[in-house]
Amino acid sequence: MIMYWVSLLAISILLYVLLDGFDLGIGILFGLTRDEARRHAMWGAVAPIWDGNETWLVVTAVILWGAFPAVYAMLLPAFYLPLVVMLSALILRGVAFEFRYKAERMRWIWDFSFFGGSLVATFVQGMTVGALVEGLPFTNGQYTGGDFGWFSPFAALCGIGLCFGYALLGACWLVRKCDGGVKAAAYRQVPYLSIGLLIFLVIVFSFALAENLQIMHRWIERPYLFIFPAIAALAAIVLAVSVERHRDGLPFYMVALIFLSAFGTLAISFWPYMIPYVITVEEAAAPHSSLAFMFWGEGIFVYPLMVIYTVISYRVFRGKVRATPVH
């Protein structure tokens, strides 16, 4: 039962990162161009799907609370200010979708909140993961780091890294979904973003070695972990080739594969801990009666339906976004 909920939690996080990742990334790229036609096309590539994507954040949060209340109660207050900032960024970005085309003179406000909100939310997410990897100060299961205990150069570095990562994911989505100027521009951006991401990964890795982060020992204990970097490297090669040959469909899946391997690396390096070296999955899990109550309704029935539903809605809107006039 615990394993079932860990798996659903992992799938939800992964779906969130991949799906909201590309639309946050497009938000970041949106701020890098002033060309209205391109902006319009980028907008069209995410507008129909963004809030379905964001649903997975809420799903992640409620599964975490229901199935692993101890971790929920430890992490959320530890990241108090970052979460306030992230939620605000996501809200502003969300309403921008509704108001951009209703505004005339005020449009720049919504453009800015789309770009700024995406950038800030991404940075905070990356920083949060970085802080978890580096290790937060907990004493007897209680966070003791103060208002800014999550901040460190390493965490900030991870925040910047994720901005590159999501932007890359976003660029590949644009390649997949758009034509014309947007696609061409995205193709030009992919190499820079990939190199940026690569440089960041190297820095993070050396930083982790230099700081002798506890989590790095996992790599020595569990050599099979190296399969993930291998997959990522392979995906990176295919990515380079597909960009070179302009295979529109491929790059997105390759970057998704890189994210998947990064996620797998983290998950297995953390295992069996949920917060590294502080609390294990077993310790964090809610009592059996809670897990069973969730399992027999939402677990085996609603959750699979949600996944199927997500797949269907992506299939319905597959193919390139048609160029529509600005309304």
Partner 1 sequence: MESMALFLSRIQFAFTISFHIIFPTFTIGLAAWLTVLEALHLRTGRSAYRVLFDFWLKIFGVAFGMGVVSGIVVAFQLGMNWSVLSKLSGPIQGPLLSYETFTAFMLEATFFGVLIFGRTRVAPWFYLFSTGMVALGTTFSAFWIMVNNSWMQAPVGYAVEKGIFVPNDWTKINLSPVVWVRFPHMLLAAYLTGAFCVAATGAWYLLRGRFSAEAKIMLRMGLCLAAVLMPIQLFIGHLAGDYVHDYQPPKFAAIEGRWHDEQPASEVLIAIPDEASESNKYAISIPVLGSLIGSMSLDSKEVGLTSFPRQDRPPVLIPFFTFRIMVGCGLIMLAVAFIGSYLSLAGMIDRYRLFLWATFLSFPLPFIATWTGWFTAEVGRQPWAVYGLLRTADAMTPFLTAQAAAISLVIFGIIYTFIFAFGIFYIYRLLRTGLVRPMLKPASAAVPNRPLSLAGEDASVLAEAGE
| Least distance in angstroms from the C-beta of 56 to partner 1 | 10
Distant-in-sequence, close-in-space partners of 55: CB < 8 Å, separation ≥ 6: none
Distance CA(69)–CA(62), nearest Å, equals: 9
| Least distance in angstroms from the C-beta of 96 to partner 1 | 10
Comparison of 81 and 241: residue with beta carbon closer to partner 1: 81
Comparison of 70 and 208: residue with beta carbon closer to partner 1: 70
Q: Which amino acid is at 287?
A: P
CA dihedral (218, 220, 222, 223) in degrees, to 10, reads: 140
Residue 240 corresponds to which tokens in the numbers above? 């380079």
> How much of the chain is helix, strand and coil, in % rounded to 5?
80, 5, 20
Comparison of 101 and 207: residue with beta carbon closer to partner 1: 101
| Least distance in angstroms from the C-beta of 196 to partner 1 | 30
Tell the residue number behind the tokens 């406000």, with chain if given.
Answer: 109
Comparison of 277 and 314: residue with beta carbon closer to partner 1: 314
Comparison of 31 and 69: residue with beta carbon closer to partner 1: 69
User: What DSSP designation does 102 have?
Assistant: T
Q: What residues make contact with partner 1 under the rule CB under 8 A?
A: 44, 47-49, 51-52, 55, 57-59, 61-63, 65-67, 69-70, 72-77, 80-81, 83-85, 87-88, 90-92, 94-95, 97-99, 102, 142-144, 146-147, 286-287, 289-290, 293-294, 297-298, 302-303, 305-306, 309, 313, 316-317, 322, 324, 327
Q: What are phi and psi of 280, to 5 degrees?
A: -90, 165
| Least distance in angstroms from the C-beta of 8 to partner 1 | 11
| Least distance in angstroms from the C-beta of 183 to partner 1 | 19
| Least distance in angstroms from the C-beta of 66 to partner 1 | 3
Which of 327, 252, 251 minimizes the C-alpha distance to 23?
252
Distance CA(215)–CA(213), nearest Å, equals: 5
Residue 176 corresponds to which tokens in the numbers above? 């997949």
Distance CA(67)–CA(253), nearest Å, equals: 31
Comparison of 118 and 261: residue with beta carbon closer to partner 1: 118
Comparison of 55 and 280: residue with beta carbon closer to partner 1: 55
| Least distance in angstroms from the C-beta of 208 to partner 1 | 28
